[in-house]
Amino acid sequence: MATDRYDKVHKKKRILLKIGSNTLTKETNNISRGKIEDIANQIAMLKNTCEFIIVSSGAIAVAKQFVKLESKQEDVFVKQALASIGQPHLIRIYQEIFREYGLLTSQCLLSYSDFKKDDSKTNIVNTINVLVNNNYIPIINENDTVATDEIKFGDNDKLGALTASLLEVDLFIIATNTYGIYTKDSLENHDPETISVVEDFKALEKQVVDSKSSHGSGGMQSKIEAARLAKKANIETWIVNGMEDHFMLNAFENKIPFTKIK
């Protein structure tokens, strides 16, 4: 088991933070350096009690700031090419900003096929444990250049859940652009009300009104599915409004509404 490998020296709360494109751009057409600074600042403030692994979308959004590709190929291949262009820029932005807060980062590109092979899963766990134990924060994204699962199916929500489960983290935080999951009635009444605690998935699914984000490829349904995967691994999921400054700090102190899936 993953925890067996680090329990003897592991005292901090291990958190997997999944950040979607909409959060990173703050719903604009550009990556928000201010939002990445906010994330770095929070991690720096929590580093004595928590250790972080980040699953970050945003490579395609970054590339769109620099280039416009002309192609007769299918849209998915254009997006793969954009991901190839944008990924180095995305990591550079993370490295530059996190360094200002005394934080070290590394890049890990994964594909869903990696989670189907025992050797690959062992290698992922061992490598990330070495990084985290040496105070490096892994920045994980799907290897979009050769894989299309995120592009087609869901803004890294599933990748975040699979990684959280494999590493047996203590908490899975999904940063999105809503204050968690809203009740269906409240949305219909245009007065969103957050579902604070979820224990019954069947009841939850009846409440979900799905919508896609403007930059990401996911929506609330993909976040529910991600939480379901995490739940199978006995991991608690928080769906938090990452658009807010200090969203993690405020969630820990219950200063903002968010959804906790136990």
Are the CB atoms for 194 and 257 separated by under 8 Å? yes
- Say what the pLDDT of residue 235 is: 97
pLDDT tops 60 at residue 91: yes
Closest CA to 52 of 144, 176, 164, 177: 164
| Mean per-residue pLDDT over the chain, rounded | 86
- Say what the pLDDT of residue 10 is: 55
pLDDT band (50, 70, 90) for residue 33: very high
The torsion of the CA quartet 39, 41, 47, 53, rounded to 10 degrees, works out to 20
Mean pLDDT value across residues 105-117: 91
Strand partners, 18: 55, 174
Model-wide pTM > 0.85? yes
- One-letter amino acid for residue 116 of the chain: K
The angle subtended at Cα 207 by Cα 14 and Cα 197, nearest 5°, is 35
Q: Which residue did the predictor score with more confidence, 152 or 162?
A: 162
Instruction: Give the neighbor-by-neighbor strand order of the sheet with 50-56.
Output: 104-110, 136-142, 50-56, 13-19, 171-176, 236-241, 259-261, 197-198
Share of the chain above pLDDT 70, in %: 85
pLDDT tops 70 at residue 202: yes
pLDDT band (50, 70, 90) for residue 212: very low
Closest CA to 216 of 19, 20, 18: 20
Sign of CA dihedral 77, 78, 79, 82: positive
How would you classify the pairing of strands 197-198 and 50-56? unpaired
For residue 247, with 0-12 CB atoms within 10 Å meaning exposed, 13-18 middle and 19 or more buried, which class applies?
Answer: buried
Mutual orientation of helices 157-167 and 220-232 as an angle, nearest 10°?
Answer: 10
- Say what the pLDDT of residue 2 is: 46
Mean pLDDT value across residues 114-137: 96
pLDDT tops 60 at residue 3: no
For the chain, which residues make up each domain, given as ranges? 3-261
Tell me, which fold does domain 3-261 have in CATH?
Answer: Carbamate kinase (3.40.1160)
Which phi and psi (to 5°) does residue 12 adopt?
-80, 155
